[in-house]
Structures are given as structure tokens and as C-alpha cells.
Structure 1
Amino acid sequence: MKGRTIVLDHINGREAAAHMVDGHLDDLLIASDAPAPGTIYRAVADRPVKGQGGMFLKTPDGNAFLRQIKGMAPGDELLVQVTGFAEDGKAIPVAHRVLFKSRYVIVTPNAPGINVSRSIRDDDRREELLAVVHDTVEKIPHGIILRSSCSIADDEDIAEDLHSMLTLAEQVLSDDGSGPETLFEGDAPHLLAWRDWVEPAEIVTKEGGFEDHGVLDAVETLENPRFDLIGGAYAYVEPTRALVAVDVNTGNDTSMTAGTKANFALAKALPRALRLRGLGGQIVLDLAPMPKKDRRGFETALKAALRADSIETVFVGWTPLGHVELQRKRARLPLSELLG
């Protein structure tokens, strides 16, 4: 099946959304019991963590951890936003800077200015989008980012989205309550799919859509740590408590360039493999043998693939043993936990 399909259904009673590209599973969102990224709390400072420059906070969902706490004292109240999922036994990661993100716009309190996504290069369209903002809001109280999805969107839809996000921001920021409280819950999978999967696609909402479109079969294959690479090579991705290990193998290819080809194939496939399995944190790549002169090209290919991914991943560097280290944001829970 050619083209893009977004399937909205449930897995094991959990709301879920699947993004299929040419019949293959490209992305998968599954609801969890943990606070979703984007959730906004009124939190209460509890106790500082010496040596880490952070503070534990009290929230309705348990302890949260905030870095960069200059000027904060126990008992202070502040707005914070969940930035990712916590490791087992650790506090919820939060940030003091809150954002209100939707399909077309991002409202950024305390960061004034109107910015248009750099991926929109048409000057006439950029001017049209700025006009939409000024026609919609007389006095702009917060910063606004117009997302890349605005490039082909209807101006009325953008204006409606902008008004909705500004209204939400005002409601949250004007809160005058006290004590730990959830002021806004992060988006569930169906809404998150609408927000972030903006390219034209067929939308399937009927019950049983996952089975009809092969999503369940694709999810079942993700339980196997092995995944095939182009050219007959393959890799294993296996999470441990400390890190995620990725092992690359050349398969039946015994040519002089087998290792290089397998590693470049991994560079292209790795973001999807990690994204679908919900893996983050420290990633260590045990690559197939290849000449040192090919390292720079591999690094370039891997960085390009990571930039195109929706989850932030930093290329840390090479180890003395020739391994590659990455640091990936814990934007999702591991698939194994959600299906367990």
C-alpha cells in the first residue's frame, strides 16, 4: 500500500495511534499511566539537591525534578511542564519554561516575538502568516511560533488554532490557586497524532483499524530485538538498566566493504528502530568493523538521520573502543512496558 495512513485505535485497552508509510509502521503512540509530556503543574518546591543544581518539587503525580533553581527556596510555588518520562524510581523531569503547542502554532510565554518556521522559505507565504497573526490578535501578549505545517494550511484554521492556544495560555498563566495541582494534561495519542503528523494522509478511525492495516503484526515484530538492514545486514537493539546497546552485523556479506555498508544502513534505520520501541537515554552503538577513514561519513549520515527524527538525540562521540555514544531524550516509555 503506497502513501501515508494514520490509524487511530486501541492496544490492550490503551488509546493508540499508528503512522503507516507505504504499508510499513513508521511511528506509534500509546497512552500510558504516567504523566504525558506537556502536562503543566502548579508545583511546590520541596528540597534542593546539593551538587546537582536542582530541586525536588511536589506535584499531584509525585516528586518532580527541576534543574537550574537559582533564587528558589523550599515552599515556593511555580508553574512547570513535564518534558519527558522518568526512569523507573526517579522523579518526573520538568522545566520551568512552559509552552503551549498545537498543530499550527506554539505559544511561548515570557519569550516575546513572532517567529515563522525556517522550513517555510517562501517569502510571500511568510508575510501572509504574519498577517494572519496580526489580524487575529490586536495585542500579542506572548511569543508565537508558526510551525512548518502552516505552509499549506488554511488561514482560518491557523487563526482558530492561534486563538485557542492563546486562550489556553491565559487560563493557565492566570491561575491563582495554591498547592500542587495539574493545570493542563499533555496530549493523548489521538490528539498528538493530529498535532504532529501533519503531512497529507488517509485517516482511519474505525474499531479494528490496527488489525486491518497490519499495525498489530508490526508491533509484534518489535518485540524481537533484531531488525533487518538494507543489503542483508542486521542489528540488535537491546535495552539494559544503564543504557541501550545496539549491535551491528554484516550478515552473509564477506566483502571488504561489508562493515561500512552495514553501518551506513544502520545510520538510516536507527531513529525509526528507537522511536518505535520507545527507547531513550544513553545509546551505545557497537558497529561492524570499518576503516577509520569512513567514520566521518558515517557520522555525517547518522547526524542527518537523527536531525530528521522527531525526538531529540545528541551525537556524543566515539569511544576508545570505536563505539558510538548517543544521548536520546526520554520522550516515550519503552514499548515493552506499555505492552506488558
Structure 2
Amino acid sequence: MKGRQILLDHIGEREAAALMVDGKLDDVLIDGDTPRPGAIYRAVADRPVKGQGGMFVKTPDGMGFLRQVKGLAPGQTLLMQVTGMAEDGKAIPVTQKILFKSRYAIVTPEAPGLNISRSIKDDDLRETLLGIAHEVMGGSEMGLILRSSCAEAEAGEIAEDIAAMEEMARAVMADAAGEMEKLTEGDGPHEEAWREWVAPADIVTRAGCFEDHGVLDALEDLKSAKVAMGGGAFLFVEPTRALVAVDVNTGADTSPAAGIKANMAAAREIPRQLRLRGLGGQVTIDLAPMPKKERRPFETALRAALKADGIDTVMAGWTPLGHYELQRKRARVAIRGLLP
């Protein structure tokens, strides 16, 4: 099926959302068992970890780990926000730089100023958006970022979104005193889909729509480490405790250009596979053999795919053995533990 579809359903008891583009699964969100990114706690500083430059903190959901802890003392109560998924046996990653993020607006309590996404180039539109921001925020001491999604939105929708986020931010930031408590839950898959998948799409909310539209079959394919690419090439995506290993293979193609063709296909496919599988951390790519002069085109293709992907990923570069490394934010829960 051509076009974009956003499907809102459940997998067992878990809330889930899927984005299909031209009949192919492009993204999926499944609720996990760990605290959701974006959740906000009133927490208590516990003990510093000098060797790691951080501090353990107590939250209602277990221990968290906070970096940049200058000036904090054990026993101090503070607000903090979950920044990513907690790995098995590790503390919840948290930050004191709290953001209130919605479809059109991000309110930044600790960073004053009104800002508009750089991707919005039209000067008239930027002036209009700035006027809306000034009108709604008034003399608020909190900051605001208007997202790129504002480019296609109605002024009333943007104003309403800003007002809702500003009100929520004001209420939460005023609630810093007291015992440990979870103040907000963070967005579930359906809410996150509305917030992040902003391009025009048909929205399907009927129970069972995952099965009707091929989502369950696509999820079944993700249980396999092997991913077929064009021209007979394929790759394997295999998470370990230390890193995610990606192995690129040319298949039956033995032509002189087989390596670069497989690697270019992998550059376009790897961000999608990491996104769908909910994988992050250190990623090591064992590429098919290719001349060193072809490394730059590979990097260019990979950089473009990562930019479109949207999850923070650092291109760490080449190793002495010729592998390529990425450092990717753990923004999703690993899907392998969520599928029946």
C-alpha cells in the first residue's frame, strides 16, 4: 500500500504504535517495563561516583544515575527527568535539564529565551511563530523552542500546545519540595506517535489493525538477526551485552563493485534496523571489503540516513581493523524482550 499509515494498537497488554511507509514498517513503538523517557521524578541524591563523574540518586522506580553533579550533596531533593532506557541491571539515566516536549513546542524551564527550529527558513513564517510565542508565553521566565512541525500547523493549534506545555512546566517545577515521587509518567507509544510522526498520514486506531496491515509479520521478521538487502546482499544485526555487532555481506555477488554496493545499501538500512529493534549504545559495523577511497561515500550515505533517523547518534569513525563505530542513544527499549 502506498503512502504513510500510523497504526495504534496493542501487542498483548502492551500499548504499541507502528508507522508504515509504502507498505513497509518504518518505525515501531512498544511500551516496556522500565520507566519511560521523559518521566519526571522528585528524587533524592544518594552517593557520588567519582570515577564516573556522576551520582546515584534514589527514585520511586529504583536507582538513577545523574551526570554533571557539581554542587549536589547526598540527601538533597531535586527534580530530574529520565533521558533514555535503563539497561538490565543498570541505573535509570536521568538529568536535571528538564524539558516539556510536545508536538509543536518544547518548554525549557532552565533555559530562557524564545527559539524557532532552524529548519524553518521562511522569514515571514518565523515572524508569525515568534509573535505567537510572545503572545502565549507573555513574561514567562521559562524558555521555548518551536519545533519544525510548526511549519504546517495552524496558529491556534500551536498556541494551544504552547499554553498546555507552559502550564504543565509551571506546575511541575513548583512541586520540587517533598518526598520521593513520580510527577509525570512520560509519553506512551500512542502519545509519542502523535508527538513525533507529524508528516501527513492515514491514522488507524481499530483494534487488530496490526494484523490487518502486516505489522505483526514485519515484527516477526525482527526476531531474526539476518536482514536481506537488494542484489542478494544481507547483513546481520546481533546485540551483545557490550555492543551491537553489524556484519555486512555481499552474498553471491562476486563483482569488483560488490563490496561498495553492499556497504552503501547497509548505510541506508542500518539506522532503520537499529530504530526498529530498539538498539543503542556502542555499534560496531564489520563492512564488506572495499577500497579505502570508498569510505567517504559510505560515511556520507550513513550520515544522511542517521540525520533522517532522528535518534542521537555519534559517528565515532574507523577502527584500525577497518570497522566503523557508532555511539547511539538508548532511546528505545530493545524489542526482542517485548515480542511474544
TM norm structure 2: 0.98
| CA distance in 2: counterparts of 1:313 and 1:110, whole angstroms | 25
Give the letter for the 1:197 counterpart: W
2:133 alignment partner in structure 1: 133
Aligned to 1:108: 108
Distance across 1 between alignment mates of 2:259 and 2:176: 60
Cα shift readout 1:194-218 (whole Å, capped 9, x = no counterpart): 0000000000001111011110011
Shift of 1:51: 1.3
Cα deviation, 1:12-40, whole Å, max 9, x if unaligned, reads 21000000000110000001111000001
Q: Deviations over 1:124-164 (max 9, x none)?
A: 11111111112223213211000011001010000000000
Query: How far apart are the structure 1 equivalents of 2:208 and 2:57?
Result: 42
CA distance in 1, matches of 2:219, 2:338: 12
Alignment partners' CA distance in 1, 2:121 and 2:270: 29
Q: Which residue of 1 aligns with 2:94?
A: 94
Do the aligned partners of 2:80 and 2:96 also contact (CA within 8 Å) in 1?
yes
- For the residue of structure 1 that corresponds to 2:332, the secondary structure is coil
Q: What does 1:259-298 align with in structure 2 at a 5 Å threshold?
A: 259-298=259-298
Q: Please say if 1:44 is aligned against 2:44.
A: yes
**Alpha-carbon distance in structure 1 between the residues aligned to 2:176 and 2:297:** 54
Amino acid at match of 1:214: G
1:123 shift after superposition: 0.8
Show the counterpart of 2:305. 305
Counterparts of 1:240 and 1:32, CA distance in 2: 19
- Aligned equivalents of 1:208, 1:294: Cα separation in 2: 46
Report the Cα offset of residue 176 of structure 1.
4.6
Q: Could you give the per-residue CA deviations for residues 226-256 of structure 1, whole angstroms, max 9, x where no partner exists? A: 1112222110000111111000010111110
CA contact (8 A) 2:42 2:176 kept: no
CA RMSD of aligned residues (A): 0.9
Q: Which amino acid aligns with 2:94?
A: V
Distance in 2, matches of 1:326 and 1:97, equals: 25
Residues 1:76 and 2:68 are matched in the alignment: no
CA shift for structure 1 position 334: 0.8
- 1:323 corresponds in structure 2 to 323
Alignment correspondent of 1:256: 256
Whole-angstrom distance in 2 between the partners of 1:134 and 1:96: 26
Q: Distance in 2 between matches of 1:137 and 1:86?
A: 34
Name the SS of the counterpart of 1:308 in structure 2: helix
Name 2:245's counterpart in structure 1.
245
* Whole-Å separation in 2 of the counterparts to 1:166 and 1:333: 29
Report the counterpart of residue 151 of structure 1 in structure 2: 151
TM-score, structure 1 length as denominator? 0.98
Query: How many pairs does the alignment contain?
Result: 340
Partner of 1:85: 85
CA distance in 2, matches of 1:328, 1:103: 23
Q: What amino acid is aligned across from residue 109 of structure 1 in structure 2?
A: P
Q: Structure 1, residues 36-76: CA drift from partner, whole Å, max 9, x if none?
A: 00001111000011211110000000000001111111011
Structure 1 residue 308, shift from structure 2 partner = 1.5
Q: Which range moves more in the overlay, 101-110 or 303-312?
A: 303-312
Distance, in Å, in 1 between the alignment partners of 2:304 and 2:4 is 22
8 Å contact from structure 2 (residues 42, 183) kept in 1 = yes
Unaligned runs of 5+ in 2: none
Unmatched runs of 5 consecutive residues or more in structure 1? none
Indicate if the aligned counterparts of 2:5 and 2:202 stay in contact, CA closer than 8 A: yes
Task: Spell out the pairing of 1:168-187 with structure 2 (5 A cutoff).
Answer: 168-187=168-187
Q: Deviations over 1:309-339 (max 9, x none)?
A: 1211111111111001111111111111112
Partner of 2:224: 224
2:24 corresponding residue in structure 1: 24
The answer as to 2:63 corresponding to 1:63 is yes
Change (3 A) 1:251 1:176: closer
Structure 1 distance, partners of 2:210, 2:79, is 38
Structure 2 residue matching 1:293: 3-state secondary structure: helix
Cα distance in 1 for residues equivalent to 2:182 and 2:229: 44
Distance 1:49 1:210 in 2: 45
Structure 2 counterparts to residues 160-239 of structure 1, below 5 A = 160-239=160-239
AA partner of residue 228 (structure 2): D
Percent sequence identity over aligned pairs:
66
Report the 3-state secondary structure (helix = DSSP H, G, I; strand = E; otherwise coil) of the residue aligned with 1:167.
helix
